[in-house]
């Protein structure tokens, strides 16, 4: 496993982060989830990402149990706040001071830790003054409940405004967690340049485009049984944008590229996002422990320029690049 600094800080995280969105507490039984976490540790992964909204807090509980007994100082634990939790009452979502201060305590309890290494604003909250949100984060850092602050799916302008307030308040905003893959490149035009300017790194989610870049979906063929495309708990909806024959056919053109480089299709997809120097880590998920070891092998891989050109030739024209697609919901209910 290789490690990279997160933003303009002295904090290092593993190039591969294990995330439990859409799996722990919902799709995967707890014993299998624990096996996946153990597989991540065995692969040298030390960074773990979750959120209070995942499975309505159950994912944090599962992760806390799975990491019990590990040396805390050897782990980097990330979680997030914004989405609705609990009974989803009027103050059970967003980035108000009330929700943030209550949410961090709930997350720490479920994760069975005194602090998280990175606490992230899961989306931008248009209904709460940014000053209120950032002051709450500053207080959490000063209380020692979070060491660093990050965000997720913020635009370049939102990053600049948040970073400026963080500096004024005396803490570091060091990361953004956007979707990024060969097929979803919306951060490249605006978010990445702004982040490089500010000293902010990307921790990217869905580097395999919800599994499409694994190559297991074939154009014109039945969906594999038990795959995300057949999941009625949210997975199928997330993946549907890529389930077009033109996209699936283009992805199959990546197979000889992967074979040429000695990589599996998932490894090629994860390695591709890690070629971007502003990306500190790629988040992988898994429903089976063997998937973890396969994806983790992408750490430290360098793709030659001719390989990157072949990837662009295969799927580049189908990639979404519109920077306007990087956005948070206009309202909390959206």
54 is catalytic: yes
Longest CA–CA separation in the chain, Å: 55
- The beta strand positions in 198-306, using DSSP E, are 201-204, 279-284
Q: Would you tell me how many other CB atoms lie within 10 Å of the CB of residue 309?
A: 12
Q: Which two tokens stand for residue 128?
A: 């709460």
CA distance 205 to 310: 23
> Which one of the listed residues 54, 119, 124, 180 is annotated catalytic?
54
Q: Which two tokens stand for residue 61?
A: 């509980």
Q: Would you tell me how many other CB atoms lie within 10 Å of the CB of residue 164?
A: 14
CA distance 179 to 185: 8
CA distance 286 to 307: 26
24, 51 contact by CB (below 8 A)? no
Q: Which helix (H) or strand (E) holds 13?
A: strand 12-14
**Which active-site residues does the annotation give?**
54
């Amino acid at each position: 496993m290789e490690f990279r600094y997160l933003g303009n800080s002295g904090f290092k995280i593993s190039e591969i982060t294990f995330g439990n969105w859409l799996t722990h507490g919902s799709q995967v039984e707890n014993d299998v989830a624990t096996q996946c976490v153990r597989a991540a540790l065995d692969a040298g992964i030390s960074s773990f990402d979750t959120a209070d909204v995942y499975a309505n807090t159950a994912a944090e509980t599962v992760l806390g149990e799975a990491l019990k007994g590990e040396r805390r100082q050897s782990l980097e634990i990330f979680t997030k706040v914004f989405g609705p939790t609990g009974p989803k009452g009027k103050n059970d979502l967003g980035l108000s001071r009330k929700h943030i201060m209550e949410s961090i305590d709930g997350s720490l309890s479920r994760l069975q830790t005194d602090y998280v290494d990175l606490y992230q604003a899961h989306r931008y909250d248009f209904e709460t003054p940014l000053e209120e949100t950032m002051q709450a984060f500053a207080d959490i850092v000063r209380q020692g409940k979070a060491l660093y602050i990050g965000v997720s799916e913020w635009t370049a302008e939102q990053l600049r405004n948040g970073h400026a307030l963080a500096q004024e308040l005396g803490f570091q905003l060091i990361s953004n967690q956007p979707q990024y893959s060969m097929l979803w490149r919306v951060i490249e035009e605006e978010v990445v340049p702004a982040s490089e300017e500010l000293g902010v790194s990307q921790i990217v989610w869905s580097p395999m485009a919800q599994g499409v870049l694994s190559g297991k979906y074939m154009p014109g063929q039945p969906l594999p049984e038990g795959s995300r495309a057949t999941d009625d708990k949210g997975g199928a909806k997330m993946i549907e944008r890529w389930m077009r024959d033109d996209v699936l056919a283009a992805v199959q053109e990546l197979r000889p590229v992967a074979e040429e480089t000695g990589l599996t299709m998932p490894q090629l997809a994860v390695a591709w996002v890690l070629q971007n120097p502003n990306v500190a880590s790629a988040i992988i998920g898994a429903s089976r422990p063997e998937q973890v070891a396969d994806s983790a092998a992408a750490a430290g891989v360098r793709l030659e320029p001719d390989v990157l050109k072949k990837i662009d030739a295969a799927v580049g024209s189908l990639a979404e690049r519109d920077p306007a697609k990087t956005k948070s919901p206009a309202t909390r209910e959206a």
